[in-house]
Chain A
Amino acid sequence: MSARRLFAHELEEALDRVLYASPSHRSIERLALLLEPLSRAQQDLVLHWAGVAAQTYAEIGYLIASLAPQVFARLDERDFAAWVIHGLDTYDKQGLRPAMEVLRDFEGFLAAKEGRAFARFEEVEARLSRLIQGLSGRPLSLRIGPYPYTDTETIFLPERIGQYAAHADNRRLYQALAVRLWAQARFGTYRADLTHALSQYADRELACQWLCCLEAMRLESCIARELPGMARELARLRSPWPDELACAARDLQADDADISVSLRWLARLMEKNVLPPPLTGLGVLAPELAQRVRDARIEKDTEILRRALMQSLTPGERKARMTTQIDAQRGVVEIRIDGEAVWLAPEAQEAAQSLIQDLGELPPELLAPAGPAEGKLPQPRQRLAEPERIEERRADFYYDEWDYLRQAYRRGWCHVYETEGKAGTGDFVRETKKRHAARIRQLKKKFEAIRGEDRLLGRQLEGEEIDLDAHIEALHDRKSGAEPSARLFARRQRNERSFAAMFLIDMSGSTKGWVNDCEREALVMLCEALEALGDAYAIYGFSGWTRTRCDLYRIKSYSERYDEAIARRIDGIEAKDYTRMGVAIRHVTRLLAAQPAKHKLLVLLTDGRPDDFGDEYRGVYGVEDTRRALLEARRQGVRSFCVTIDRAGQEYLKHMMGPAAYVILDDARKLPLKIAEIYRRLTV
């Protein structure tokens, strides 16, 4: 056998021979091109094993050949064979799909063999999501995905990473991936129509890989301008840029380089017909997925902004040309008419900023003079009627609901049924108390201390201390012949706390599982703490199914004491149906407002946004109704505070909570440990 490397056309022939059921000739052509740079020994191995595998299953043979260049970058010849055999074994035992997966995961194979320490998504998730939150731009959530990419709203990361031997290095790689993908969303990778741009190339896959490299280079320098430390870290974790990119570097690293620069260079690279090196840790591009998400968002944001403009402009102003100005320093968008800035509501401002991030400008048609053709503005979409449910008994209460489209209340719209919460066994509460015994003791002490805070009352007829001011005055009065006061003492008086609290617990279906567990645990901690404090408090859970069935479950009323029965009801709290939030807030506000305490506090525990069966309550409607309900509460002297376990929810929260304060917990497991402290901070 000669040691000369096989050329592409020879490989093509050989591949055609071993992979008899090849998908198409073009893919074989590409495969051949891919294998050309390998050594002859490697090429022979690939042909051999691809052939062996193809006899079992053609697709596996093809996969082995196409992964080979990447595999050889990481494994030597002996491991290559072991990797193939491992894949074939898996096929025999578990079938095609698992086999393909095992083969694709050659990193995992290598890592397992070397006993390397994987980093896992769960362990890095919380920290990464806080980091991404800290970096500016539109909020992005994190999720496990088949490969690392972003659709501009979510960053998808692999379930585990084992590229490096050391656990810490694998964690660093997670971070690098997340930041690179954040940068794609932040610095406009998807601002151009990539689907279209890539479709111009015969080998779309290859073009996509090159574009990913070009963008990674451009984005790294965007990052370097704002976060030099991060850029250095990214550079440390990748192999050197391929030589082909050297000439593009200057253009890509220019301050004003955008996606169009990468696309220009892509055209040149594709002419050269070279393969990109197997660079790992850059993430991949997902143009179709991103485009879809982005288009939907742009439509939504445009609509929000259009409406806001329609509302705040007079008909005369609508005919004027508008200009935009972006205050880059503050990230604020200003829309001006004849130099005068138009006031934008927070949600409209947010929509405008989001549009700028997506488009680099506001859609021109939005700013064009509307003229007489106002009627052409799209009408609010047809609402979908909610299915009605017929209930066997009359509702206990009826509440109005706010319809933002009409800007009016729908009278008596929501039917509330108040029932006592179902009793559980009480085991959960007992266990929680046992598990957190030390913590509970600590809380009690702390809360008793607050309760015990004294106030010194001066000028009393009797008391344990002398009121010095009063004494001096009396001394003086006596001297000057006036009648001295007999009120010369100071007395310590227990500081009268005058609080009534209402805890409203989200029992919607989405809380099923550990969110529900954490809510219940949190309630146990709260009750213990509040008992020590002596504040009046009640606990209600809510869920429901359309407006005609809004359930409120009484876990503890103000008049009940915290005892075994209450503990059982806490235990019995379970995830049910939907989250029609507005009406629940209205109902408990009514109960809370009737309390004699001076300060009234509503604490809402939820895991996300308002939602109900059918499409009506979901989205803007529910958010606006909830916001309205909180405003109503405020007017009745009830202060609200919302504890949300929802990392993704930041966008709408600020608006919805308008009159209320809120805190977002990125991890439900923190709730039990934090809730008492949150309450304490609200009331001292």
Chain B
Amino acid sequence: MLAEIKTLTPILERPLTAPYYRPIGEEVALFEAAARQRLPVLLKGPTGCGKTRFVEYMAWKLGRPLATVACHDDLTTADLVGRYLIVGEETVWLDGPLTAAVRMGAICYLDEIVEARKDTTVVIHPLADSRRLLAVDKRGELIPAPAEFMLVISYNPGYQSVLKEIKPSTRQRFVAIEFDYPAADIEAEIVATEGGVDVECARKLVKLAELTRNLKGAGLDEGASTRLLVHAAQLIAAGIAPQTAATAAVARALSDEPDMSETLDDLVRAVFG
């Protein structure tokens, strides 16, 4: 019966050029070791601190294709594993990104895993322990993962909702690598490189980020991420005045509340005014 149905598998590309990634601690060595030992990896850290970039970089470094899935609350098992489609008269099976990654021996990166529906995590469990199996229930198929397949998930522990917590049974299957915003010098280097501004300007943006991070929990859910700094830098590189750029890309991006906006403006002024 399986043989009758045509199976479509999307082709996952191998990255050709090295993405820019500035290592911060021992994350590269850890990831490589995990890959060698066929262990799944959990990347933990606040938004915009370089998790996605890191996975892209590691995929390139290990020479493996990468399938990235941004999880959301409507993501079903079928979205990950695959589904039947009707093409003309014929029923075909289309592999989901997870199945494709297993077949090809790729890295599958599930971004923001807690956003996904609870039942989707069930399908990754057998893949994330020593069985390394993907069960495609709809086809009654069990696919053993090749050595090169690697499961990577990310998780931002900053969420406050009770529902957005990773279950211990999931968490304990993964090697966890913790990310945080890098130390000031390194972060400035990243912002300068990614944003195309000089280090002096990048340093100021990093200083601003530090100030906003001090407000975490006291009006802000999160301080400015490296990503926001890169955005501000890119605006500056495009000819926008630094204060205007920082206001638009950092201050306005962090809060809509009038009181908080006012304070963020004060901080922008303290650095760029």
Contact = CB atoms under 8 A, between A and B. Distances in A.
B239 interface: no
Given A133-B218, A228-B272, A230-B269, 4 more contacts: A127-B263, A131-B267, A136-B211, A681-B160
B207 interface: yes
14 contacts: A130-B219, A134-B214, A136-B214, A228-B271, A229-B269, A229-B270, A230-B271, A327-B183, A475-B91, A479-B91, A482-B1, A654-B217, A682-B161, A683-B161
Nearest to B269: A229
A495 B161 CA distance: 17
Interface string A100-130: 0000000000000000000000000011001
Nearest to A657: B217
Contacts of B136: none
A480 B1 contact: yes
Given A131-B266, A661-B160, A472 B86 contact: yes
B178 interface: no
A130 B5 CA distance: 63
Interface string B218-246: 11000000000000000000000001000
A126 B258 CA distance: 12
B217 A663 contact: yes
Given A133-B214, A473-B138, A684-B161, A229 B271 contact: yes
B176 interface: no
A329 B184 contact: yes
Contact of A134 (B138, B163, B267): B267
A134 B269 CA distance: 13
Question: Which range holds the interface residue count of chain A?
Answer: 35 or more
A684 B91 CA distance: 38
Interface in B185-238: 185, 204, 207, 210-212, 214-215, 217-219
Contact of A599 (B163, B207, B210, B260): B163
Interface string A174-188: 010000000000000
Contacts of A476: 5, 84, 91
A469 B83 contact: yes
B168 interface: no
A469 B85 CA distance: 8
A226 interface: yes
A83 B34 CA distance: 80
Interface in A280-294: none
Given A330-B183, A475-B91, A650-B218, A136 B270 contact: no
B29 interface: no
A664 B185 CA distance: 30
B155 to A, nearest CB: 16
> A-side binding surface: helix, strand, loop or mixed?
helix
A564 interface: no
A664 to B, nearest CB: 5
Nearest to A481: B1
B210 A127 contact: no
Contacts of A469: 78, 83-84, 138
A306 to B, nearest CB: 28
A226 B163 CA distance: 40
B231 to A, nearest CB: 20
Nearest to B5: A476
A155 interface: no
Nearest to A654: B217
Interface residues of B, number: 40
B212 A480 contact: no
A119 to B, nearest CB: 15
Nearest to B187: A329
Given A599-B162, A683-B161, A133 B271 contact: no
Contacts of A300: none
A396 to B, nearest CB: 30
A127 B266 contact: yes
A232 interface: yes
Interface string A218-234: 00000000111110110
Nearest to A670: B259
> B-side binding surface: helix, strand, loop or mixed?
helix
A639 to B, nearest CB: 5
Contacts of A227: 207, 270-271
A232 B273 CA distance: 8
A681 B221 CA distance: 11
Interface in A658-684: 661-664, 666, 681-684
B4 interface: yes
A130 B263 contact: yes
A473 B84 contact: yes
B32 interface: no
Given A135-B214, A641-B160, A230 B270 contact: yes
B202 to A, nearest CB: 14
Q: Which 5 A-B pairs have the closest CB atoms?
A: A229-B273, A329-B183, A230-B270, A130-B263, A472-B84
A348 interface: no
A330 B204 CA distance: 16
B206 to A, nearest CB: 10
Contacts of A683: 161-163
Given A130-B263, A131-B263, A131-B267, A684 B214 contact: no
A167 to B, nearest CB: 16
Contacts of B262: 127
A601 interface: yes
B259 A134 contact: no
Contact of A639 (B1, B162, B207, B268): B162
A134 B91 contact: no
Interface in A143-159: none
A230 B4 CA distance: 72
Nearest to B210: A136
Nearest to B264: A134
A480 B207 CA distance: 66
B85 A472 contact: yes
Contacts of B211: 134-136
A641 B217 CA distance: 12
B258 to A, nearest CB: 11
Contacts of B218: 130, 133, 650, 663-664, 666
Interface in B84-98: 84-86, 91
Contacts of A654: 217
Contacts of A684: 161, 163
Given A329-B184, A473-B84, A229 B272 contact: yes
Given A127-B259, A227-B207, A229-B270, A134 B215 contact: yes
Nearest to A232: B273
Nearest to B86: A472
Contacts of A127: 259, 262-263, 266
Contacts of B243: 229
A133 B267 CA distance: 11
A650 B219 CA distance: 12
A660 to B, nearest CB: 10
Contacts of A133: 214-215, 218
